[in-house]
Structure 1
Amino acid sequence: MSLGKGRRAPGRKTVLPGTDAGATAATGRIGNWALAGLVLLLSALIVLLDVVTGEDLRVVPLLVVVPALASVFCSLRQTVWVAVWITAVVVGSGLGGDGTFWDFVFGIGFTVLACALGVAACAARIRHATEMDRLRSAAVALQRQILRPLPVITDQVFAYGIYEPIEEDRFVGGDIYEVVQSPYGTRVIIGDVQGKGIAAIGAGFAAIAAFREAAVREPTLTGVVEALEAAVVRHNAFSAQTGEAERFVTALVLGFDEEDRVQAVNCGHLPPRLLHEGRASAVRLERTYVPLGLAGLSRETRMAESFALPPGATLLVVTDGVTEARDAARAFYPLDRRLAGWAGHGPRELLDALRVDLETFTGGIRRDDVAALALRRAPGDGGPLPAAVADEVRPVAGAVSD
């Protein structure tokens, strides 16, 4: 078996998220003119109110709250500008007042201290936001480096896909996928680690590393799944020693050989969808086993089952970031209803439609990673690849040549 050399599609380039780390915090959320108008209006109102109340009730000192508010929403330069302006207003008000010298000194000192604290708080906020953005960007970049760029091709399968990681640190998830050419055919996994955060990414990486090795080594698909189970259990044992929570991994493991059927072991994951001859339907697997890492809680032995994948059909597998996406009314994304209208699409067009529709449905607000693979059998005649496919071919791990 041999694989052609891969290359990227012309005109495409990868843009890693997080390249504008801290940009929002550093530039502020309020424009300069809008901020100036608000501060001038607020200052005028407070000074006017102070004139009306007279010496009986001085309200000018309330202006010291403005730099504190600015430190939350504005850039450092804007906050400094606000602090200087408020100090000038308080000094001018004190010079025109009838208070004692020490009242004037105390008022100025209190204002300068409050403004300095506001500026310091703004600087600390921006520094923290920039650091968190850098950490998020590193986590997402690490995910993208570990997970294979798509599409890829093997002797049995064309594998297209989308992967949209969430960049919010508390939402970053552990979606995983991999396509491996082995002496026993092509093995594919798509899965989702329980929980969010960096720890979930670690558990996902442990599962991917085990899959890459076992997919080439194990002659049976159930052997691959047993190796994955052992890897997740070992990772959980290590996590427990370091104080991290144990996690399980839902996964769908597929095996493609030269026949027209696909082997599958479903470990608590979403079932695949089959699109063929203008129809779309969920593949009904007889058994769904417990997720990886939880086999000790079940007496069932995981067994592989098979289903037909006719030539020209597309097999779509997704993570729950697709099916659990919500719109503004908190309704779940209707995947099967959408697929019915896309049943005639090819793999690439299907994923493009899914990505755009998900973005529209959620309004661009997501709370989980999105991963989806569209799989189609490679031609079995050994002929040349279609030009559109050859442009984006990438070699796969575990490939063997003769």
Structure 2
Amino acid sequence: MITIIPVESKKQRKAFIDFPHDLYAEDPNYVPELFLAQEDLLTPGKHPFYLHSSAQLFLAYSDAKIVGRIAAIWNVNNNSFNHVQEGHFGFFDCINDQEVADKLFEAAENWVKQKGATTVVGPINLTTNDTVGLLVEGFDRPPMAMMPYNKAYYIDLILNYSFSQKVDLRAYQISSDDANKRSVLLLDKLEERLGRSGIRLRQINLKDFKNEVAKIKTIYNKAWDKNLAFVPMTDEEFNYVAKDLKQIVNPKYAIIAEKGDEIVGFALGVPNINEILIKIKRGRLLPFGIFKLLFGLKKVKSLRVMMLGVLENYRKMGIEACLYGRIIKNGTIDNVQEAECSWMLEHNYLMNHAIEQINAKLYKRYRLYEKTL
């Protein structure tokens, strides 16, 4: 008999976080999330999401054994900004059993309906500024930093509950051998041309991190505001993310385009820390995982370009090419072997074309699903 239990205690939350470690125990491509980071993300009072919105975690039991989990999410800021009444589901993991999946989806669905939802969308692991989408293509290798991973059979479990495809998200891969160096070779000329328009590129100044973050937040909320399901970050949310990223950011891969004192474009690449996390058992940094993380960063040979945005009035000037060019050039110098550019909306033709022009290949696809309630 399958029983669905709402998570209410710290012990249950720990079990919720740890369930995937057992489910994926034999999967060589599974990367465990850091326990402390997941605990913060899923605990009201610890993460700034809960200052404006709410979520309910559920566990599925077969007798005394956990066989699945899901989070029902009510993002007030998303609904207000995008003028929708949308509930989300996330953190979905389940054994290959349709009955278990159905009961988990039903629990999440009923919870968001009580909040007033008319549709449910997912997987969204809290917000669209966190991990988003279900992996539907590219199961042959581990995910890059801050990208999701799941069992292939989840696709059928979701479709069999009457979800339908909402949109696909793309991840592109580019290796040092295949990279089209044209953008690097033309970089000086392109930057010189931008300079005549008063635009210059520079690396982020970590010594002035607080002020840099304040400026970058402004462009983030402006440059991405037409993206699907985009929700502007609150100051608390942006500062929370920035504080975490500061620990792994290399200024060589955090490039700012500015005109005068105004930031008009920004690109961020982060070391693929999943190369290290995949070796940290059950996501525990203590007692020895912290050393793997600290000493492993210098050995990371892949990079994820997780953010690139240019203000609308400054697009088609070549800023995007220069931002990519800087990151590619610096990566080549640092002997980075490959990079992933993710994620891109399938209908963002301008950005997808720009990435394909530097010889990047579409190698993973993620999908958001929706269901009318």
Structure having the higher helix fraction is 1
TM-score (norm 1): 0.23
TM-score (norm 2): 0.25
Higher relative contact order (CA 8 A, sep 6+): 2
Structure having the higher strand fraction is 2
Greater CA radius of gyration, 1 or 2?
1
